[in-house]
Amino acid sequence: MAAPVIPYSRSIKRKETSMKLSSKARDAIAGYLFIMPNMIGFLLFLAFPVVASLFISAAEWNLITEPIFVGINNFIALFQDSYFWQCLRNTAYFSLFSVLLGIVTSLFLAVLLNNPRVGFSGFLKSAIFLPVIFSTVSVALIWQWILDTHIGMLNHLLGYIRLGPFPWLTDPHWSMPSVIIVGVWRQIGYNMVIFLAALQGVPQDLYEAADIDGARPLHKFWNVTWPMISPSTFFVLVTSIINSFQVFDITTVLTNGGPANSTNTIIMMVYQYAFQNFKMGYASAAAYMLFAIILVITAFQNIVSKRWVHT
């Protein structure tokens, strides 16, 4: 069978085109094509809204009418809004204690379960990790029942040792600690897995050297384990702080921000202003304030990390 005859001029053209693109360029094009679907999603659903909300934060806009440019008025109003400061205080309260408790507890559990002498470690790891994969809403609903003042399981159990009943979710002083406990319970499984991976990566010869030097377990932890897992601790710290500042689902379902706004957080405030009061400009300004706070904290952590994170 004879090969198809390509006209001379077309074959020359093809050759020229293929010669124009180097193999590096072709690879680059292929690379861009591969990341394009994700890039389109990123630009459309993340980058564009982020930039757009910056413009919206300088406007008064209720979704229907034309936005009115108000400059920095939304930010000024925000600084004068006692509700904003209350939500910020609540968020900081939640963040501080949930991050601290979350890291300490998960590190303790990771060290414990990393010990080969601890039995059922596989089962325990799975049990501790389970809350991470549960839906937050269902978790919060279950905790709502557990923490119920009158018919809750926790108060019922405490009743056996003549304690309580405690108004876990119904008293402004108890509500935030209760929310923190639920938040920590939900988060520790994820942190624990990261710590476990880090612990298993610590070279054994360092412990052997410490043993030869006569180091006790606590000394080994502070002088070997802690420095060696510090990059993971730093990662857990940064992500936990960012997540804690964005707390929304647990507080919404568990307490809906109450009682007396004691568990209202910044993201809840943003949601209320944007989607209940339709004040998109004000809500965007609050969202940018939160962004600025998280940015400053993360930058500070990065600077300070050079002093304690082992590289």
Site stretch for other proteins (CB under 8 A), options 3-11, 92-100, 217-225, 268-276 = 268-276
Interaction of residue 170 with other proteins, rule CB under 8 A? yes
Neighbours of 153 (CB within 10 A): 12
The least distance separating other proteins from the CB of residue 300, rounded to whole angstroms, comes to 32
Structural contact between residues 181 and 230, judged by C-beta atoms closer than 8 angstroms? no
Range 244-255 burial, b when 16+ CB lie within 10 A, else e: bbbbebbbbbbb
By CB under 8 A, tell whether 64 contacts other proteins: yes
Among positions 41, 172, 201, 217, the unique one binding other proteins when judged by CB under 8 A: 172
138 binds other proteins, rule: CB under 8 A: no
State yes or no: residue 63 binds other proteins (CB under 8 A). Answer: yes
Q: How far apart (Å, rounded) are the C-alpha atoms in residues 308 and 306?
A: 6
Q: Choose which of 105, 171, 298, 301 interacts with other proteins (CB under 8 A).
A: 171
Nearer to other proteins, 83 or 129 (CB): 83
DSSP-assigned letter for residue 171: S
Residue from the set 69, 278, 300, 308 that interacts with other proteins by CB under 8 A: 278
**Near other proteins by CB under 8 A: residue from 27, 34, 62, 126:** 62
Residue ranges in 65-84 that form contacts with other proteins under rule CB under 8 A: 65, 83
The residue written with tokens 């298993």 in the block is: 200
Q: Tell me if 260 contacts other proteins by CB under 8 A.
A: yes
Name 68's bridge partners. Answer: 60
Whose tokens are 């209940």? That residue is 276
285 touches other proteins (CB under 8 A):
no
If one asks whether residue 85 binds other proteins (CB under 8 A), the answer comes out as: no
161 near other proteins, rule: CB under 8 A: no
Give the gyration radius of the chain's Cα atoms.
27
- Least distance in Å: CB of 280 to other proteins? 10
DSSP codes of every residue in 62-125: -SSSPPEE-TTHHHHHHHT-HHHHHHHHHHHHHHHHHHHHHHHHHHHHHHHHHSTTSTTHHHHH
Nearer to other proteins, 63 or 104 (CB): 63
| # chain residues binding other proteins, by CB under 8 A | 25
Q: Which of 287, 292, 285 is nearest to 76 (CA)?
A: 285
**Minimum CB distance to other proteins, residue 196 (Å):** 39
Near other proteins in 213-252, by CB under 8 A: none
246, 259, 291, 301: residue in contact with other proteins (rule CB under 8 A) = 259
CA-CA distance, 243 to 249, in Å (whole number)? 11
Q: How far is the CB of 243 from other proteins (least distance, A)?
A: 23
Question: Which of residues 111, 279, 281, 284 is near other proteins by CB under 8 A?
Answer: 279
Answer for which of 164, 166, 258, 291 binds other proteins (CB under 8 A) is 258
Helix (H, G, I), strand (E, B) or coil at 7: coil
Shortest distance, CB of residue 40 to other proteins, whole angstroms? 20
Whether residue 259 is preceded by a cis peptide bond, meaning omega within 30 degrees of 0, is yes
- Distance CA(300)–CA(88), nearest Å, equals 19
- Show the beta-strand stretches assigned E in the chain: 59-60, 68-69
Task: Give the nearest distance from C-beta 309 to other proteins in angstroms.
Answer: 42
Binding region for other proteins (CB under 8 A): 62-65, 83, 149-150, 167, 169-172, 256, 258-262, 272, 274-279
